[in-house]
Chains A and B, each alone.
Chain A
Amino acid sequence: MTTTEPTPEIAVDPNAVNLTINGRPVAARKGELIIAAADRSGDYIPRFCYHPRMSPVGMCRQCLVEVEGPRGPMMVVSCMTPVAEGQVVRTETDQVKRAQEGIIELLLANHPLDCPVCDKGGECPLQDQAFSHGPGESRFIEEKRHYEKPIAISDLVLLDRERCILCDRCTRFADEVAGDALIHFTSRGNNTQVQTFPDEPFSSYFSGNTVQICPVGALTAQPYRFKARPWDLEKTESTCTTCSVGCRITLESSRDELLRYQGVDSDPVNHGWLCDKGRFNFESVKSDARLSNPLVRDGGSLVETSWSSALATAASLITSALRAGGASRVAVLGGARGTNEDAHAWAKLATALGIDSVDAQLGDGLPADVLSYPQATIDEAARASTIILLAPDLKEELPILYLRLRDASEKKRSRILEFTAKESGLTRYAWKSVPYLPGTQPAVVATTLSDAAVAAQTAKGSVVVVVGRSNLAESDEYTMAALDAVMAANPSATVLPVLRRGNVRGALTVGLGRRDAVDILADAVNGEIDCLVLVGADPIADCPDTELARRALAAVPNIIAIDTFATASSSKATVLLPAAAFGEKDGTTTNLEGRVTRLARKVTVNGTSRPDWMVALELADILGHDLGVASVADVHADLVSSNAAFAPATRSALSAHPDGVVLERITTTNSARVVPPVAERPGFGYRLVVGRKLYDNGRNVAESPSLAPLAPGSALHMHPLDLERLGATDGASVKVSGDRTSIVMDVVADESVQRGTVWAAWAQPGANVGELIDSTKWVNDVKVETL
């Protein structure tokens, strides 16, 4: 600012409201509700329906308080009444107590009081407030209302209508927050009940949240039912690493067994919400299929051995590869599923050994330089005037980010401009959804942005580009070129990269993205890699080009894998080391916006599993390299001191800020990209689009008994008119052929698929669409034939 005019000091905040609660002056914001102001002033008002993240409805009437009015004190519901200047509020008078006791008595009239067998007993707002604000006895002697109990309203959630107090929290959540209004109040009066539509379950990805916010035990979660009593649970705050949103959670365990995750309200990230995949995949941590001891290949099979001998074998494999052909003959893939410390230790080891073939992604993300664009946080995206989506279906990949952006659109803060090859979960909330044929994205983006109405919109205020890998069967260069097109049209735009693997951003920031995994795997196929280290990576399952990954792993003489499970890739290892899983190790993680938060160890490791960082340190030791660190705290301190981006994420800063610390934003100028050719629509066949569904074949889901059945399975989605042209009917089996091979898939009529394209979900039980993807091609076209 160069202005010399003195800015006048604002003496009075125009948004400040002064009121009195229980005789004490309280300052509040204009529009704030009395119940929220009272919370801050320490005057707790009992409540059931009020939830700070949802609109107030005044449903339960428990929060009645007395407000001085023109005709004396009046009873008002404090969750519906905004504060006013000079307002006099009393929350503890005899009249208030009488009213609150009356409500409790009324709510308990039909409540079954089966607390001893109820999951909620011990952490139940109704139970607690019946003690603190109830009359202690009831005049109700009649028969209570009876319903069948419980009924399953989805595969994960059960509803006991007898316990329900009709607070409207779950139904409001489903409608307002999740946008899946699949549960609703039905009937009327004494018969009012929460119900789904007949035979249409509450199959929302966010259904678990309703269990957490239910103020009674009406909604219970299948994976946790009757597993523990709340007073037996030990809780620790941590961060979910199922995807890269990094929701804050509590890990809750009893007798050294993880039993439940609950969402923590982190204002910059998850607002207390979790997706069901993140909430319930704790089951995979305690799966019987977990590796518990090191395995070394002896003859044809993997044989259990001690850590010392397994590590010695691993070290000798690395040494002999280094001796035979130098560091170029060793490659490291992975590191995106662990902690920052895991990744940093492996990056240090790779550097010490001179290994350059290192990638945390598996050809399924974006080039690492997407992080060098001007960066945006989730909050900045959810506040932007325009959100431009060059992203996969966020509802399927990063569900809580979907909630945040949906909220931005629904509350009219932001307009969403979406570019997509197939309709996504956000399409219905988008201001404009522009379809494009794979291979034409940069051109379509450039044309759209030059449209006068679009240009007027982007000129209105901040622009955040949400960029990720939307199609695994299309080169990522198209998305990057599209991003460059946006940046050229809007130079002040910022970028929120949505790479999906839990700690992919941390791994790339510490340097685990030196070469593209697809190039590394191609080297392996050519016999140029002697030793491949897989740090929690499964290229056969995760690299879009299945054939490439399979041939690469077959061609590498020695594979060292560190993994929690024997996967398609790790089971091919010469040395397979059991890794500590989420919840079993300390450290920090970095979410997609670069926010570093702490992870907590809650349970002891499975068998003799060790965290990835420890394996790196021990291998370094055997290989004669002193990395100068000996504990997870050392690794963290070394990371903070050696990596400029991590400088703000000191131990003390992380302790002081449970919501995390955002990495230093380091923006570099990128060299111009080779603009890929515009791939024209072929005269024959269909262009392949491969996206993800929330539930898939991944270990997190497949090893969680409650989640595994929810994977939709492999199918080929086609526009109904294309299906008609093909002469096939919905559900028929068709032959899908790429250049290399053919697979048989069931076909599904789906209007959200563009004509001329076919869509399939990645990594589903059944036929593997990865067989059809050739990573060396700009786009992949397939032929579809009836059988």
Chain B
Amino acid sequence: MARLSEENVRLAKEIIGRYPRARSATIPLLHLAQQQDGHVTNEAMAHIGELVGATSAEVYGTASFYEMFKFEPVGKYLINICGTMSCALMGAEDLMHHAEHRLGVKLGGTTDDGMFTLERAECQAACTEAPCLQVNYRYRFRVTDADFDSLVDDLKSGRLNDEIPAHGTVARVRQHIPLDRGVGAVPPEDVTEAPAWMDGKAAL
């Protein structure tokens, strides 16, 4: 649990290079930190502050605005069961009770083996597929108690490793933008010509 690793600092610098102002990279770097440690550590936030030229308090202020950044360790799999209208009508409460029994934790809790954290979530925009849940933000639709059990079994056995990475990994394929294709470190007010990615189409 610590500051960003050497490899991640290199990545962080590449990400910062995409923005005209270093501070704009704060949120992508928070994701990077969460991918590294599974949650965002205080040390990582202080490190991000150093990298983007902000105080730790500013980084924390930004990070804490967002539900998806966790400041305490969470399980390898974060299971969010939707409890908003459509899902509630379609039996989300029962599903939650079942999940609590199956995992042996209350909503908000993490299993002793560190595998699962169970949370109640607000609408996940899949109302036609109610009740739904997300595992590390990957959807499961029209979930029955039996579906939930087999999901947990699959996650435990590693059968879903290809589909669902550990908590904190936003995507397995990392975007790389060569510096010459980026907007570049030019403040917006100083930009007079169309950026490179428009390939001169700005004239149209």
Q: Does B185 contact A (CB under 8 A)?
A: no
How far apart are B86's CB and chain A's nearest CB, in angstroms?
22
The answer to whether A182 touches B55 (Cβ under 8 A) is yes
Verify if A195 is at the interface (C-beta below 8 Å from B): yes
| B57 and A188 contacting across the interface, CB-CB below 8 Å | no
Per the 8 Å Cβ criterion, residues 631-667 of A in contact with B are none
Distance in angstroms from A187 CB to nearest chain B CB is 5
- Give the distance in Å from the alpha carbon of A196 to the alpha carbon of B57 in the complex: 6
Judged by a CB distance under 8 angstroms, whether A140 is at the interface is no
A699 adjacent to chain B (CB < 8 Å) = no
Q: Please, which residues of chain A bring their CB within 8 A of the CB of B61?
A: 184-186, 195
Q: How far is the CA of A717 from the CA of B59 in the complex (A)?
A: 29
Among B42, B45, B60: residue with most chain A CB under 10 A: B60
Most buried by A among B42, B45, B59, B64: B64
Q: A195-B60, A198-B42 are in contact. Are A187 and B65 (CB under 8 A)?
A: yes
The listed residue (A175, A188, A200) touching B65 by CB distance below 8 A is A188
B46 at the binding interface (Cβ < 8 Å): yes
User: Closest Cβ of chain B: how far from A21's Cβ, in Å?
Assistant: 34
Of residues 188 through 205 on chain A, the ones whose CB sits less than 8 Å from some CB of chain B are 188, 195-200
Q: Are B60 and A181 in contact, CB atoms less than 8 angstroms apart?
A: no
B90 at interface (Cβ–Cβ under 8 A)? no
Chain B interface residue count, Cβ-Cβ cutoff 8 angstroms: 14
Closest B residue to A183 using CB positions: B57
Q: Per a CB cutoff under 8 Å, which of A180, A188, A199, A200 touches B64?
A: A188
Type the 1/0 row for B49-71, where 1 means its CB is closer than 8 Å to any CB of A. Answer: 00000111111110011100000
- Judged by DSSP, the binding face of B is helix
| Centre residue among A175, A181, A183 by max chain B CB count within 10 A | A181
Per-position 1/0 for B26-61, Cβ under 8 A of A: 000000000000000010011000000011111111
Q: Which of B45, B65, B66 meets A197, CB within 8 Å? A: B45
Which residues of chain A have C-beta atoms less than 8 A from B46's C-beta?
A: 197, 200
Q: How far is the CB of B175 from chain A (nearest CB, A)?
A: 27
Is the Cβ of A197 less than 8 Å from the Cβ of B64? no
| Closest Cβ neighbor of B61 among chain A residues | A184
| Pair B64/A182 contact, Cβ less than 8 Å | no
Chain A 129-154 interface residues, beta-carbon cutoff 8 Å to B: none
> Nearest CB to that of B59 among chain A residues?
A197
Contacting residues of chain B (63-106) with chain A, CB-CB under 8 angstroms? 64-66
Inter-chain contacts of B64 with A (CB < 8 A): 186-188
Please judge, given known A-B contacts A187-B65, A188-B65, whether A199 and B42 are in contact too, CB under 8 Å. Answer: yes
Cβ 8 A contact of B56, one of A175, A187, A188, A200: A200
Contacts of B45 in A (CB 8 A): 197
Determine if A186 and B60 form an interchain contact, defined as CB atoms under 8 angstroms apart: yes
Chain B contacts for A188, CB-based, 8 A:
64-66
Chain A residue, CB-CB nearest to B49: A197
CA distance A404 to B176 in the complex (A): 43
A183 CA to B61 CA, complexed, in Å: 9
Q: A235–B129 Cα gap in the complex (Å)? A: 68
Contact with B along A165-186 (1 / 0, CB 8 A): 0000000000100001111111
**A197 x B54 contact (CB < 8 A):** no
The complex places the Cα of A361 from the Cα of B5 at a distance, in Å, of 53
The reply to whether B65 and A184 form a contact with Cβ atoms under 8 Å apart is no
Most chain A C-beta atoms within 10 Å of own C-beta, residue among B56, B57, B59: B57
Say how far A219's CB is from chain B's closest CB, in angstroms.
Answer: 15
Tell me the complex Cα distance, A196–B64, Å.
12
Interface string of A196-234 (1 = CB under 8 A from B): 111110000000000000000000000000000000000
Bound-state CA distance A196–B60 (Å) is: 9
Query: Which chain A residue has the least Cβ–Cβ distance from B63?
Result: A186
Residues in B with CB closer than 8 Å to A184 are 55, 57-58, 60-61
Query: In the assembly, what is the distance between CA of A200 and CA of B61, in Å?
Result: 13
Question: From residue B44, how far is it (CB to closest CB) to chain A in Å?
Answer: 12
Find the B residue at minimum CB distance from A174. Answer: B57
Chain B residues with CB under 8 Å of A181's CB are 54-55, 57-58
Q: Which residues of chain A come closer than 8 Å to B56, judged between CB atoms?
A: 197, 200
Partner pick for A195 among B42, B55, B57, B66, CB 8 A cutoff: B57
Residues of A within 8 A of B60 (CB): 184, 186, 195, 197-198
Minimum CB–CB distance for A435 against chain B, Å: 21
* Residue among B45, B56, B66 facing the most chain A CB atoms (10 A cut-off): B56
Complex alpha-carbon distance, A643 and B45, angstroms: 59
Give complex CA distance A187, B60 in Å. Answer: 9
Q: Which residues of A contact B54 (CB under 8 A)?
A: 181
Q: Which residue of B lies closest to A184 (CB)?
A: B61
| Assembly CA distance A187 to B61 (angstroms) | 7
Residues of B within 8 A of A182 (CB): 55, 57
Question: How many Å lie between the Cα of A73 and that of B45 in the bound state?
Answer: 47
Chain A residues near B59: list those with CB within 8 A: 197
Residues in chain A near residue B65, CB distance under 8 A:
186-188
Whole-angstrom CA separation of A182 from B59 in the bound complex: 10
Q: How far is the CB of B3 from chain A (nearest CB, A)?
A: 14
Docked CA distance A182–B54 (Å): 10
Q: How far is the CA of A183 from the CA of B56 in the complex (A)?
A: 9
A187 cross-chain contacts in B, Cβ below 8 A? 64-65
Specify the chain A residue showing the minimal Cβ separation from B64: A186
Q: Which residues of chain A come closer than 8 Å to B42, judged between CB atoms?
A: 197-199
Nearest CB of A to B167, in Å:
21
Residue of B nearest to A428 (CB): B53
Q: Report B23 CB to chain A, min CB distance, Å.
A: 11
Residue of A nearest to B42 (CB): A198
Whole-angstrom distance between the alpha carbons of A183 and B60 in the complex? 10
CA distance in complex: A25, B130 (Å): 62
Tell me the complex Cα distance, A195–B42, Å. Answer: 14
Q: Give A196 to B55 CA distance when docked, in angstroms.
A: 10
Bound CA span A175–B56, Å? 13
List residues of chain B with CB within 8 A of the CB of A195.
57, 60-61
Min Cβ gap B88→A in Å is: 21
* Set of chain B residues within 8 Å of A175, measured between Cβ atoms: 58
Whole-angstrom CA separation of A183 from B55 in the bound complex: 9
What are 22 A-B interface contacts by the 8 Å CB criterion? A181-B54, A181-B55, A182-B55, A182-B57, A183-B57, A184-B55, A184-B58, A184-B60, A184-B61, A186-B60, A186-B64, A188-B65, A195-B60, A195-B61, A197-B46, A197-B57, A197-B60, A198-B42, A198-B60, A199-B42, A200-B46, A200-B57
Kindly list 10 other residue pairs between chains A and B, CB separation below 8 angstroms, not including A175-B58, A184-B55. A184-B57, A184-B58, A184-B60, A186-B60, A187-B65, A188-B66, A195-B61, A196-B57, A198-B60, A200-B56
A-B residue pairs, 8 tightest by C-beta: A184-B61, A197-B56, A186-B64, A197-B57, A184-B57, A181-B55, A188-B65, A187-B64
Residues of A within 8 A of B (CB): 175, 180-188, 195-200
